[in-house]
Structure 1
Amino acid sequence: MADEQKGFRLSRRLLLGAAVVGGAVLWGGNTVARLARGPSGPKNAGRIADIDGFALPLKPLDNAPAFDASLPWSAKGGDINDASGLSMTPVYGVVEVSGDEHIAKALAFARANGLKISLAAIRHSMGGHAFDDNALVLDLRKFNRVTVDAAAKTMTLQPGARWHDIQNLLHPHFAVKAMQSTDIFSVGGSLSVNAHGMDHQAGSVAGSIRSMRVMLADGSVTTCSPTENTDLFRHVVGGYGLFGVVLEATLDIVDNAVYRTSREIIKSDDFPEFFAKVLEPNKDIGLFYGHLSTAPGNFLEDMIVYRYDKVAERPPADQPEIGEPGSVGLKRVIINLAKWGSLFQELKWFTEKTLEPKFESCTVARTSAMAEVRATVQ
């Protein structure tokens, strides 16, 4: 009888232990899965700040004009937000643009009815300055045609085209010359903020523009470039859509060079000298970026400089297609864990400077290098 009771107690302990271990494993698995997930959808925290000096919240127009049935409306009334989820803005309506004629009709309708115009695509120009209350919004995401002139090393594209799709179109022979260090944005958005990226030799996107066709507020169309209608060019590039709508732009493209990857850990205070003596004069360094330490032990004191030294003008003929960035889920877990406190912030820094180099490719094509950086910020 005593042996039976002892065996029963032992079984209960085993069951209890198994339940605890199983619960811990289940909790750990669910936590890791949650930390590795990307955003489930657009965020919307309403409108947390007064964007334009008027009291909050603003209401839709009291006497809004009737909607023009000839325009392709995707929304009538309502509101929009940018990627931050913090810039809720009431709008008159949203026109889904797929051709020049939609823009011309929308501008004419806005002029006739005293409406303002806002431009939007991926909506990563955050802070509310890309929107206006009760404006007619031109959604340019389907206005995205791209053509490539291999002989001239140029591409002509509409503003709704995304850099990710463009890079896949250019690969494996060519690559984008200048864009942000991630490829999720639209060309129109990049032009409107005059964005820059990893190529310090190329500079901002303005330096890669051959010419642009722009529709002005009165519906007229003109061409501008660094040498033609230069005042308009300087205003449109970096003008957040305030001076006209870009109908198409012709940009330089470059050979899809192959780079050898490496990284150096330096003191943040030494970076200006490092840039002047190492990065700037070496024309074979095609791309670079830096990450500052956010670990409490050396907060903002140290940094990792990632550099890409050119070793070939073109990748091999059998170069595979651009894949999705590697280890995105793992990097999300590490970044999200770092929000939990100093121990995990130190772990993130240790992983970045010590473990990551062991799993990276020695060489990479330019298009793939630009895609890989996206994994560090997703």
Structure 2
Amino acid sequence: HADNAIGRFQMNDAPATNEADTKVRAKLSLTEALHRKHARAMPAPDAKGRPGNCQMCHPAHSDRGLFDRFPATRDGANRYAEGDNRDGLGSYTGRDLHSNPYRATELHAGSHLNAIGQWYRDTVWSEDGKDRGLYCTHCHNPLSNALYQADRLTDAATGGGAGLRSKTIPELAAALTGGNVQQLIDRYLDPKVVDGTDHNAATWDHGNGPPLGYQRGDGTVVAKAEPGATPIAYGDLSGSKDFWFSPGLPHCADCHAPPFVESMGGEFFPMDQPAKYSLMRFSHGHAQITCQGCHQSAHGLFPVNPLGNDAASPQQAAQYNADGSTGPVGCGACHRTTAAGVPLVARNLIYGGSPIGDDYDRAVAWAHADR
């Protein structure tokens, strides 16, 4: 899955010397080759122009043996070519919090969006008057890479040093497309399939990958510069480049405002990097509880659609929440709480200038900032 990324990135050992290293390496990583080829040869767009082959290849999460609204036909075509990809049921679409119209009744806290998140909410979330949420290409796109590259974080929880994440849409356009907002939308925010042009190629065209760190003379790699060490890119060490690491994947911080963001990177180098946001699966908040401990994992974030093909995930959260809601897991799973759902032990804490005891949304914000 990760093109042997882990094996190639052993930090305390010299790069492996084996028969495989004597062979000519492929010009592209397996991930890059597959996605670029399909993005160019068979993007299978829906009526909105968004590529359908994302969920046609990564489609099904069905623990009930059902394939209702399966994204591909028996002939391998996009079932939603005349409709909207987001109407399918898959591993992400129609299942995850961000693609689940039933989430509103389950959530007890706000979304806390930055300007990018607000643009998605106002522009694509309820397109044509139907609550469909986000599609794959709204997270996996060149914008996510650009935001990561601009970060010079000094404080992850407050967003200190986040280069572009707090910018307005016009400010992002000024930084990335010479001020052309429509080009920002077409190329970065909502890339689509255009006849004669592959507007998704940039997503999978990472060259040799971004800077990773510094390689010592003995072959080991460190995150920070030191005497005698030379800069090295992800692609220099692994055929996977950066596709399965923090530089190549989306982040909560792309759309959400601090403190609803990942931890500071570097703790799990080279999976993540210093002065950059880590990945959600390596991040934590209050009491060192992992993000996944309360929110579940990406593509199946709570609350999962209770009417989809995944019956197990909604039950996972409901068994911990006293009100039977399907997530995220609330404070009451671990604490005795006030009527507002705030832990009694923390009811007098001040966050943002006000006590959190009667304000569940404020308490949730404090829990994300408590690192």
TM-score, normalised on structure 2? 0.26
Q: Which structure has more RCO (C-alpha within 8 Å, separation ≥ 6)?
A: 2
Higher radius of gyration, 1 or 2: 1
* Greater strand fraction, Structure 1 or Structure 2: 1
